[in-house]
Structure 1
Amino acid sequence: MEKKSQIHSSLKVLLVTDIERAKVFYSDVLGCEVTDWWVIRDDFTGLAIKLLQANDPKDVKPNPPAKGVEHGFDVYCYVEDWQSLDELYLEFKEKGAAIAIEPWVDENNGPWKEFAVKDVDGYCIAFGGTDGY
């Protein structure tokens, strides 16, 4: 008997220092739909985050880098193809996003192309994928 799928999406929960400032960033810079409950782009199967106001700014803790890498990732978004990746990069850059990692290609894995931005609390949001394979 074939097992039916039970989970259709998930989202990341991020504590933020200033909920209103974070909502403006995700709306104006990353082009997300922003409500009182979440920020999403390309529906819940795309970028989906729940922002929560931290009790204390010290509670906001972006992930540290893993061993051997320069940046820690807090959210990773897989893209459809490199054209989509390049379009996102240009859109975010034009809107003033802080680019944490410029687009680059890892020829040994895929090849895989990615870039990353940092939000107003220092969370690193990466975008990457293969070229439609």
Structure 2
Amino acid sequence: MNNQIHSSLKVLLVSDLEKSKAFYRDVLGCEVTDWWAIRDGLTGLGVKLLQAISPEDVYPNRKPAPDIYCYVENWTALDELYEEFKAKGAKMVVEPWIDPESGPWKEFALVDPDNYCLAFGGTNGK
């Protein structure tokens, strides 16, 4: 069977569309259009931002589950992303840490203006 799905986008209902667009563009380095916010092409980080009708429609996952998980190729790339996002003012909710039992696996997490949690992690390229 041929692979038929080559990418997907997470849809986020947001409280302030312009504020969210600015965050994804200015802090996360995404290309932001009227249709999506993407970084590293459609197989990278892809988010569709939609204005919520009411504040109750904005509903991030409850902790500890992130709303979006981004897999990163290796720890060098992960460390570079962390430094980039932190320098641009991202609110970190999980500082980089290593789980030696899982690969070892390293990750960090941040939140967007609506407290949607975006986690980034991966093994060290092995």
Whether the aligned pair in 2 keeps the contact of 1:101 and 1:115 (CA below 8 Å) is yes
Q: Confirm whether residue 79 of structure 1 aligns to residue 72 of structure 2.
A: yes
1:95 maps to which of 67, 88, 102: 88
Q: Give the letter for the 1:45 counterpart.
A: T
Whether the aligned pair in 2 keeps the contact of 1:40 and 1:48 (CA below 8 Å) is yes
**CA drift at 1:72:** 2.7
**CA drift at 1:32:** 0.3
- Structure 2: which 5+ runs fail to align? none
- Mapped to 1, the partners of 2:65 and 2:74 lie a distance apart of 23
Q: Confirm whether residue 122 of structure 1 aligns to residue 115 of structure 2.
A: yes
Q: Give the letter for the 1:29 counterpart.
A: V
Aligned pairs, number: 126
Match of 2:39 in 1: 41
- Structure 1: which 5+ runs fail to align? 66-70
Runs of 4+ in 1 over 3 A off after TM superposition: none
User: Residues 76-123 of structure 1, C-alpha deviation per residue, up to 9 Å, x if partnerless?
Assistant: 000010000000000000000000100000000110000001000000
Classify the secondary structure of the residue corresponding to 1:120.
Answer: coil
Identity between Structure 1 and Structure 2 (%): 65
TM-score by length of 2: 0.98
Between structure 1 and structure 2, the one with the greater Rg is 1
* Alignment root-mean-square deviation, CA: 0.6
- Mapped to 2, the partners of 1:111 and 1:54 lie a distance apart of 39
Q: Give the letter for the 1:79 counterpart.
A: V
